[in-house]
Amino acid sequence: MIKKVLIFLGIISGTQAMGISQSSIHGFTIQKLNSNDLLDFSAYKGKKILIVNVASKCGFTYQYKGLEELYQTYKSSLVVIGVPCNQFLNQEPRNEEKIAEFCAINYGVTFPITTKIKVKGKDQHPIYSWLTKKALNGKSDYNISWNFNKFLIDEEGRIIDFFGSKVKPKDEKIIQHLR
């Protein structure tokens, strides 16, 4: 009974609302883009996950094309998740409806995209707190330096590696983990 109460209050490890340490990303949920529905990371157990903070007015925006191609090539074993963010020189100023429209029209994006969030700073979303802090993810500390930073997650929900913006989606550094 006490454990159930502690879980409800967000005190036991594994509760994403409090950003407390979890053994995997599979305990998290996030709102989908332009929707009230939640994207539940536990639905991707057994698949690798590539999480990318995205923006539509960035010099790296062309990577949407490579992300979609990567997703289509490996979708039986990989899900790509785009996470819009407007923290880097106002490069994602669009509202969620316009983001969805932009991605579909310009790049034919079919992979999941989340609601627009903060990936760093005091209002950092709990998923990015987990991704960027060794104390929470158990692997390493990471700095989100710009749009199109990428986290590759294994089938059990643990971080495999982190890739900066200059690493393209179909770079061998990423592909080697997908074969």
Active site residue 58: yes
Q: Write down the pLDDT at residue 15.
A: 38
- Give domain status of residue 38, yes or no: yes
Does residue 4 fall inside a structural domain? no
Tell whether the model's pLDDT for residue 116 goes beyond 60.
Answer: yes
CATH of the domain at 92: 3.40.30.10
Number of folded domains in the chain?
1
Cα separation, 88 vs 104, in Å, equals 22
With a cut of 60, say whether residue 8 has pLDDT above it. Answer: no
The predicted structure's pLDDT at residue 10: 39
Q: Is 10 within a domain? A: no
Confidence category of residue 21, pLDDT binned at 50, 70, 90: low
Q: Confirm whether 27 is domain-assigned.
A: yes
pLDDT tens sequence across 142-169: 999 999 999 999 999 999 999 999 999 9
> Is residue 12 in some structural domain?
no
As a whole-number percent, the residues of the chain with pLDDT over 90 amount to 87
- Whether residue 82 is predicted with pLDDT greater than 70 in this model: the reply is yes
- Tell me if 30 sits within 8 A of 115, measured CB to CB: yes
Residue 16 scores a pLDDT above 50: no
Spatial contact of 98 and 84, defined as CB atoms under 8 Å apart: no
Q: What domain range is 156 assigned to?
A: 18-175
95 belongs to a structural domain: yes
CA separation for the pair 49, 101 (Å, rounded): 23
DSSP 43: G
Integer Cα distance of 119 and 126 in angstroms? 9
Q: For residue 18, what are the CA distances in angstroms to 22, 24, 51?
A: 11, 15, 20
In a domain, 8, yes or no: no
Tell me: pLDDT of 52 over 80.
yes
In a domain, 3, yes or no: no
d(CA 85, CA 120): 10
Residue among 50, 58, 117, 159 flagged as catalytic: 58
State the pLDDT at residue 7: 36
Res. 24: pLDDT tops 60: yes
